[in-house]
Amino acid sequence: MNRLAPRLDLRQTQQLVMTPQLQQAIKLLQLSNLEVAQFVEEELAQNPLLERDEPGAESGAAEIVDRGEAPDLARADAETSLLDPVAGAAQSNEAPLDIDYDNSFTKGADEPQGEGEFLGEWKGTGGRSDFEDSEFGLEQTLARPVSLREHLLAQAGVDFAEPRDRIVAARLVDLIDDCGYLSAPLGELAAKLDIDEAEIERVLKRCQRFDPPGIFARSLKECLALQLAERNRLDPCMEKLLENLDLLAKRDVAALQRLCGCDNEDLQDMVAELRSLDPKPGLAFDRALASPIVPDVLMRLAADRSWIIELNQETLPRVLVNTRYHARVHGAVRTKQEKEFVAERLHAANWLVKSLHQRAQTILKVSVEIVRQQDGFFRHGVRHLKPLVLRDIAAAIDMHESTVSRVTTNKFIATPHGIFELKYFFTSAIPASGGGDAHSAEAVRDHIRGLIDAETAAEILSDDRIVELLKASGIDIARRTVAKYREAMNIASSVQRRREKASGF
């Protein structure tokens, strides 16, 4: 009979704990070079033992991939120059100070500064200048593009004499979007300003004559109509065409000719007139600059027709552990809390340098294996892209699939065919007819695109016909797969393409 009684037991268990340092290493592996650079800047701001390495000589991680031989990864380790704490200590002794005293502007020996110095009080015959503020900078005089709002408000100030109309026009300017459209209902604005909607409509009609033409429109039809009216081309036939833009999108030529009362030649002229218009007039102002993609890995062809793969040193963050400063601080600490803080900062700095080095080596190792397995793509184009999954790369370099997935996320490689994300080279397999090698899904898409681009107006390829041509090329694919790939590439159906090529627009 068991009795309930207190007792002492000794048990031994094992548990996998993800330390903060390991979490940091995994996070760095998934980030791009630009994101890692931002992360390193934050670490430099809060860790006094870290300092930025100013590269002097050329150094970088590079690897040559031969056409048939395995890469020498040991050479990549030897050529990689992401500085470790030991190697960085010697260079940190010769690092320049934060302040370059030779570049500081102080009082000269011949001409004293103070009263009468540049950008201060001007003692010429012209009296005092306007530049009295000591914080004035040359960048404050630089010109900047005029925004859409400033452009419209300037016109409203000239066109409207009544203050009441100017207020309404200013509120209308605040309601337009980046494309120049007025999406908010006029009734809401009338309720906020406590005026009649007809008065707002009157001000809006005058605002719609502002530059650029088509501004303040409430729909695509109204935007195009305003621009045609500015050109004196808004006749009844054109108005009918604007009322049936859905038929124009469907390329229904017969219905448009019947509704507009014109022949095919006149219809083509009107369509050409519409194409010359700007459907988004507001985008001429405040155009957002698209940030270019910065590749993380670079590759080029060597003289012996092998590939040279290297990390992009321009975006690769480089940091050092300042061991000299650590020695000074460590000798001056007195309390236990200070010693713990210095030790923790040193450990964090060493781990960051080690994590950056390991991240660079992992990216290089994965990139080398991808280039080897997709050598046909880099030499001959997308038609030679092979099916590839994460498991294939992970098994070849003896890593886990999750690590390969993190490495290929948000990482780009500059190739002779352009800049591609590393994820681009992983595609599913399409079986080959006759039991041959499988084809990459991306290569099949490119084959379908090539067949459709080469078709003529007299012979439009249906999905069934595309399946037959692909099977003749050794690609075993179903019709629904062809339709799925075609729709993913925004290619219209055979019926729609026949209408487009028959209409001529």
Mean pLDDT of the chain: 78
Of 180-189, 358-367, 486-495, 496-505, which range is least confident? 496-505
User: How sure is the predictor about 249, in pLDDT bands with cuts at 50, 70 and 90?
Assistant: confident
| pTM of the entire predicted model | 0.61
Query: Would you call the peptide bond into 212 cis, given omega within 30 degrees of 0 as the criterion?
Result: yes
- Side chain identity at residue 354, one-letter code: K
Task: List pLDDT tens digits, range 201-240.
Answer: 999 999 999 999 999 999 999 999 999 999 988 888 898 9
Structure token pair of residue 139: 């960048």
Answer yes or no: is pLDDT of 3 > 80: no
Task: List pLDDT tens digits, range 56-76.
Answer: 534 344 555 544 443 443 333
Lookup result for tokens 């203050």:
163
Percent of the chain, pLDDT > 70? 78
Structure token pair of residue 481: 């797969």
Distance CA 370, CA 488 (A): 25
CA 29-35-39 angle, 5° bins? 85
Q: What size, in residues, is the chain? A: 505
In sequence order, which residues have a C-beta less than 8 Å from that of residue 408 and are 6 or more positions away?
A: 366, 390, 421, 422, 423, 426
Q: What is the pLDDT of residue 55?
A: 57
